[in-house]
Amino acid sequence: MAAKIIDGKSLAAQLRHSLKTAVAALVARGVRPGLAAILAGDDPASRVYVRNKARACDDTGVHSEIHELPENVSERTLLERIARLNADRAVHGVLVQLPLPRHLDAHRVLDAVSPAKDVDGFHAANLGALVQGRPGFVPGTPAGVMRLIEHAGVDVAGRQAVIVGRSNIVGKPLALLLLQKDATVTICHSRTRDLAAVARQADVLIAAVGRPRLITASMVKPGACVIDVGINRLADGKLAGDVDFDAVKEIAGSITPVPGGVGPMTIAMLIANTVRAAELSIE
């Protein structure tokens, strides 16, 4: 039987709808949530992501600003801009779009964002809080993945969850969120031996690699919940995930499409974090 398609687009729309109400309540108290995005350089994909985030802000009534800096921006100029936004009372969330130009130290830049405005959840303090299970901002993509799994009606407690990809922004924080929900978690990466055999153990399989159609049907346990984080631009201009969707949907129990799965949820969770940052600023 073909898998249930997990519709991230409509789930994100529902979430944004409820966020509108939260924004209206804040505006009634004299605070409009604000998000500042810093775009350094001219990576075309980053430009699209930043524009989509600003559009989602408009849609929910959140103020947004895009700060464009040239590819050759100095670290000092970038850090000064972050410091200015940290001090700006109209801005509750500050994000630095990744990847940064190569001459910049991403750790130093991300740690310059005030943890209270770090709505991407990439500051060491917020990632550390996640490790310890303490309150903090959780990165949008892993948070969105958790919502999608829940929406699919899958309880991960005691089940095998396999994540393919060990990045700081997706794979590792997602492993911590799944652990918090009592899943048994395995993280695979480029040096994993026999990825297919490990992946086939998964009740919940998450692909976050950046290789089109790496996950084939023979790597999926029948009935598994498959979440595709990958966004890959093919030679013909079309988008593809890390999962061979057409073949895997015949085996899986539920599956996210690309586009229309994780992507919209990532943005909705970012807006949720911005609204939360604004609420915390007046609590």
The binder of ligand NAD chosen from 169, 220, 251, 272 (CB under 6 A): 169
How far apart, in whole angstroms, are the C-alpha atoms of residue 263 and residue 265? 5
Instruction: Please check whether residue 95 is in contact with residue 46, taking contact to mean a CB–CB distance below 8 angstroms.
Output: no
Closer to ligand NAD by CB, 94 or 229: give it: 229
According to CB under 6 A, which residues from 210 to 269 bind ligand NAD?
Answer: 210-211, 229-232, 262-263, 266
Q: Does 208 bind ligand NAD (CB under 6 A)?
A: yes
* CA nearest to 239, candidates 253, 252, 257, 221: 257
d(CA 141, CA 171): 10
How many residues form the binding site for ligand NAD (CB under 6 A)?
24
The nearest distance, CB 180 to ligand NAD, in angstroms, is 19
Helix (H) or strand (E) holding 46, with range, is helix 44-60
Catalytic residue among 97, 203, 244, 249: 97
Q: Give the CA distances from residue 94 to residues 27, 138, 165, in Å, rounded to whole numbers and listed in that order.
A: 19, 14, 26
Q: How many residues does the chain have?
A: 283
Q: Does 165 bind ligand NAD (CB under 6 A)?
A: yes
Question: Interface with ligand NAD includes 209 (CB under 6 A)?
Answer: yes
Amino acid in the structure at residue 89: R
Q: Is 177 in the site for ligand NAD (CB under 6 A)?
A: no
Binding piece for ligand NAD, criterion CB under 6 A, among 13-21, 27-35, 110-118, 202-210: 202-210
Interface stretch with ligand NAD, choices 76-84, 155-163, 186-194, 196-204 (CB under 6 A) = 186-194
Token reading at 193: 């031996």
- Residue 192 is a binding residue for ligand NAD (CB under 6 A): yes
Q: Known catalytic residue: 53?
A: yes
Residue matched to tokens 């959140």: 62
166: contact with ligand NAD by CB under 6 A: yes
4 is catalytic: no
Considering only 14-22, 36-44, 107-115, 189-197, which stretch makes contact with ligand NAD by CB under 6 A? 189-197
Rounded Cα gap, residues 154 and 253, in angstroms: 10
| Catalytic-role residue among 118, 120, 228, 244 | 120
Residue pair 141/124 in contact by the 8 Å Cβ criterion = no
Taking only Cα atoms into account, the Rg of the chain, rounded to an integer number of angstroms, comes to 19
Q: Is 117 a catalytic residue?
A: no
We find the least distance from the C-beta atom of residue 35 to ligand NAD, in angstroms, to be 16
Cβ(219)–Cβ(247) below 8 Å? no
Q: Does 188 bind ligand NAD (CB under 6 A)?
A: yes
3-state SS assignment for residue 41? coil
Least distance in Å: CB of 261 to ligand NAD?
Answer: 7
- Residue 158 has a CB neighbour count (10 Å cut-off) of 10
Binding site for ligand NAD (CB under 6 A): 141, 164-167, 169-171, 188-190, 192, 195, 208-211, 229-232, 262-263, 266
Which residues are known catalytic residues? 53, 97, 120
